[in-house]
A and B are shown apart, each in its own frame.
Chain A
Amino acid sequence: DAMVIQNPRYQVTQFGKPVTLSCSQTLNHNVMYWYQQKSSQAPKLLFHYYDKDFNNEADTPDNFQSRRPNTSFCFLDIRSPGLGDAAMYLCATSGRDRAEKLFFGSGTQLSVL
């Protein structure tokens, strides 16, 4: 089945140690998003790619970077994780049609020790 896959499901890293989260999709969707969700809060958009065009949200910290080497894969790099970066990171995709829904992966729960 076509889907959005995030790996790993749980990730533990140390304070200041770079970490990369991955997302892949078999939907052939143009747009890929990364959201950060802290406990009992709304998902917060970090950035998104429309094809290869990268769109960063104004309040996304510089500590967060992203790469999209091809249509299927997208990575979230956290260069120097702080304790405040512990959260669920959600990847989502949508198609070219402006009115299409988002398809989410199961998320990666990041812990920072």
Chain B
Amino acid sequence: SQQGEEDPQALSIQEGENATMNCSYKTSINNLQWYRQNSGRGLVHLILIRSNEREKHSGRLRVTLDTSKKSSSLLITASRAADTASYFCATGDNYGQNFVFGPGTRLSVLP
């Protein structure tokens, strides 16, 4: 299985602090994506990083990818209470059709 695995499983921080979540995977990938899910809702795409990229930024989000270690990290800077959600990494295989999700990190940002 190429399933990503996140750690930590749960993270609780104060508003304004940075949140870092990590994802590991097992096989070669075409790309790695991060998604956010509010409770009881669908997933929303946050950012995609391709296998030949090492770092990507989008607003308060920073994603890194280390293909030699088969790992990625998502950093949310200056967190807000509205960032409270579950965050999932998903890896896309070389065919780009089979996206497999990790178990997710539940982030709680306390006001």
* CB proximity of A111 to chain B, nearest CB, Å: 13
Contact check, B48 vs A101: say whether CB atoms are below 8 A apart: yes
A100 within 8 A of B: yes
Count of chain A residues with Cβ under 8 Å from any Cβ of B? Answer: 30
One of B11-19, B37-45, B72-80 at the interface = B37-45
Q: Are B43 and A101 in contact (CB under 8 A)?
A: no
Contact A98 B48, beta carbon cutoff 8 Å: no
- Pick the most buried of B92, B97, B98: most chain A CB atoms within 10 A of its CB: B97
Q: Which residues of B contact A50 (CB under 8 A)?
A: 97
Question: How many angstroms between the C-alpha atoms of A88 and B96 in the bound complex?
Answer: 24
Report how far A105 CA is from B40 CA in the complex, Å. 12
A45 to chain B, nearest CB (A): 7
0/1 interface trace, chain A 37-70, chain B, CB 8 Å (1 if under) = 0001111110010100001000000000000000
B42 touches A100 (CB 8 A): no
* Chain B residues in the interface with A (C-beta under 8 A): 3, 30-31, 33, 35, 40-45, 48, 50, 88, 90, 92, 94-104, 106
Residues of chain A touching chain B, judged by Cβ–Cβ distance below 8 Å, are 4, 6, 31, 33, 35, 40-45, 48, 50, 55, 88, 90, 92, 94, 97-107, 109
Known: A45-B100, A102-B90, A106-B41. 8 other contacts (CB 8 A): A42-B3, A42-B88, A42-B104, A48-B97, A98-B95, A101-B33, A107-B40, A107-B41
